[in-house]
């Protein structure tokens, strides 16, 4: 099995350390570091060849940016061409550029410098390579160790999907809208970023630029402008196809192979697999594998749910997805409310949230009362809060109370009292 040279060197280093072979451990450590530098050099050379000098991409942009920390994407043609594919010089490894973004981040320094050490000004979220990113600028430094003498800048990975390899490059614009001569070249790093929420999703420089240098030679009308570039790379030597378990489980439902239970609703029969239902729903687990009578029945008749609702719920149980809009026979508010009720009955929490979001998309003065009553009935707190915020707006309240759906809200005196209280205030 192929293993990158740096990985082999690390393995030998840990082995030598375990057996207290100090000479061999030091040699392995140096070899691993050399391999890591060679790998980084190859990828960084790819970055320079594809994107060129960042100043060439944005140096001529003289239009002032808003003082709010909003990055503006400046996508260069060379970066787009590079994003298709690029190769590293290291043997047996292929590096693909998944996507890149070059943008300016302008900060009101005079205002933000009042922040304490460790507090940051954040840019807007930007997208690069299918991942979300944010720049964090610390006007007085990220750590107390520098005694507030340096500014810090970090790149944070804001996606929760997976870790990712990326190159981060940044420099400061001078007063002539060109790279500042007081700043010793663009800083660049190649790192693996963890997912949002872990300890490795943010990487940068604690000593990015000295505060005295920034204030005396770089600051322009109280503002400082950073130019940042993000390039997301994939250097996996062996490509892995995307997961297709959803397709396979969908076929399992469609082909009815191995089904061991069926549900009858209004003369329609729905075959299913006990194990799949039990794995997805604690209610089905108790019903099909517990002490209830249904655990020994091969056919179960259901009441209080329509065939269309059960069919959609069953598809979600197997695939974790709802049918596409064009496949959905009925995407009306009533249908989604019925699906929400079924999700609540069978403790399918993710489906409840999906239904709540779809209902929120359908909120208007004509539907808000009905949807609010539904949210209260099935304990959808986020949907309830949003509906109440919408309801108490004066122009909405005066129309919504005269809709037929308001009768549903009247069944909940506490909701009515809260609406009236908030409307008066």
Instruction: Based on DSSP, count helices (H) and strands (E) in the chain, helices before strands.
Output: 17, 13
Q: What is the pLDDT of residue 98?
A: 84
Q: Which residues in the chain are classed under CATH 3.30.710.10? A: 245-424
CB 284 within 8 A of CB 278: yes
The average pLDDT across 22-26 equals 54
Query: Residue 277: which pLDDT band, with cuts at 50, 70 and 90?
Result: very high
Dihedral of the CA atoms 203, 209, 210, 212 (nearest 10)?
A: -140
The pLDDT, as a whole number, for residue 420 is: 85
Q: Where in the chain is the domain with CATH 2.60.210.10?
A: 52-234
For 1, the 3-state DSSP assignment is: coil
pTM of the predicted model over 0.85? no
Question: What's the rounded Cα separation, in Å, for the pair 135 and 143?
Answer: 17
Which CATH superfamily, name and number, covers 245-424? Potassium Channel Kv1.1; Chain A (3.30.710.10)
pLDDT > 90? residue 133: yes
Is the pLDDT reported for residue 51 higher than 70?
no
Contact between 336 and 355 under an 8 Å Cβ cutoff? The reply is yes
Q: What does the alpha-carbon distance between residue 155 and residue 170 come to, in Å, rounded to a whole number?
A: 10
DSSP strands (E only) in 147-222: 150-157, 164-172, 187-193, 202-210
What is the per-residue DSSP string for 28-87? HHHHHHHHHHHHHHHHHHHHHHHH--HHHHHTT--SPPPSS---EE---HHHHHHTS---
How does pLDDT run across 162-213, given as a tens digit for each residue?
888 899 999 998 888 777 777 766 788 888 888 877 767 888 999 999 999 9
Instruction: Identify the weakest region by mean pLDDT among 53-57, 160-164, 272-276.
Output: 53-57
Q: How confident is the model at residue 154 (pLDDT cuts 50, 70, 90)?
A: very high
Burial 282-309 (b: 16+ CB within 10 A, else e): eebbebbeeeeebeeeeebeeeebbbbb
Using one digit for the tens of pLDDT, what is the confidence trace for 75-120?
Answer: 322 222 222 223 333 333 456 788 889 999 999 999 999 999 999 9
Please say whether the beta carbons of 313 and 283 come within 8 A.
no
For residue 42, pLDDT over 50 is answered with: no
pLDDT tier, 20 (very low <50, low <70, confident <90, very high otherwise): low
Q: What is the pLDDT of residues 67-82, one digit of tens each?
A: 333 333 333 222 222 2
Q: How far is C-alpha 257 from the geometric centre of its chain's CA atoms?
A: 37
- How many residues does this entry show for the chain? 425
CATH number for the domain whose boundaries are 52-234: 2.60.210.10
Q: What pLDDT score does 182 carry?
A: 72
3-state DSSP assignment of residue 422: helix
Separation of alpha carbons 141 and 93, rounded Å: 38
Neighbours of 324 (CB within 10 A): 7
For residue 214, the SS3 value is helix
What's the whole-number average pLDDT of the chain?
79
Of the chain, the percentage scoring pLDDT greater than 90 comes to 52
């Amino acid at each position: 099995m192929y293993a990158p040279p740096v990985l082999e060197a690390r393995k030998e280093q840990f082995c030598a350390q375990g057996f207290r072979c100090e000479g061999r451990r030091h040699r392995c450590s140096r070899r691993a570091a050399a391999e890591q530098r060679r790998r980084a050099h190859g990828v960084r050379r790819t970055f320079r060849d594809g994107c060129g000098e960042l100043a060439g991409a944005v140096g001529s942009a003289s239009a002032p940016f808003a003082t709010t920390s909003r990055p503006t994407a400046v996508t260069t043609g060379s970066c787009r061409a590079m994003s298709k594919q690029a190769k590293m010089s290291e043997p047996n490894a292929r590096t693909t550029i998944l996507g890149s973004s070059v943008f300016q981040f302008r900060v009101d320094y005079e205002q933000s410098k009042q922040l304490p050490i460790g507090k940051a000004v954040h840019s807007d979220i930007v997208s690069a390579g299918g991942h979300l990113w944010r720049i964090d600028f610390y006007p007085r430094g990220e750590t107390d160790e520098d005694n507030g003498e340096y500014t810090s800048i970090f790149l944070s990975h804001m996606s929760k999907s997976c870790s990712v390899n990326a190159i981060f490059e940044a420099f400061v614009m001078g007063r002539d809208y060109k790279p500042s001569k007081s700043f010793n070249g663009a800083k660049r790093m190649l790192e693996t970023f963890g997912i949002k929420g872990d300890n490795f999703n943010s990487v940068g420089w604690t000593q990015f630029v000295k505060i005295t240098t920034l204030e005396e030679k770089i600051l322009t009308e109280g503002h400082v402008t950073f130019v940042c570039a993000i390039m997301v790379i994939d250097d996996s030597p062996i490509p892995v196809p995307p997961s297709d378990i959803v397709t396979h489980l969908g076929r399992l439902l469609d082909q009815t192979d191995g089904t061991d239970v069926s549900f009858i609703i209004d003369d329609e029969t729905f075959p299913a697999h006990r194990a799949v239902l039990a794995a997805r729903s604690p209610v089905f687990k108790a019903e099909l594998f517990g002490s209830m009578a249904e655990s020994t029945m091969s056919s179960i008749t259901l009441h209080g749910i329509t065939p269309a609702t059960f069919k959609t719920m069953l598809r979600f149980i197997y695939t974790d997805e709802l049918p596409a809009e064009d496949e959905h026979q009925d995407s009306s508010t009533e249908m989604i409310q019925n699906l929400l009720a079924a999700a609540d009955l069978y403790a399918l929490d993710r489906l409840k949230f999906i239904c709540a979001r779809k209902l929120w998309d359908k909120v208007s003065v004509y539907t808000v009362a009905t949807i609010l009553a539904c949210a209260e009935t099935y304990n959808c707190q986020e949907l309830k809060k949003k509906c109440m915020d919408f309801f108490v707006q004066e122009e909405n309240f005066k129309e919504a109370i005269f809709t037929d759906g308001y009768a549903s809200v009247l069944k909940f005196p506490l909701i009515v009292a809260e609406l009236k209280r908030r409307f008066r205030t």
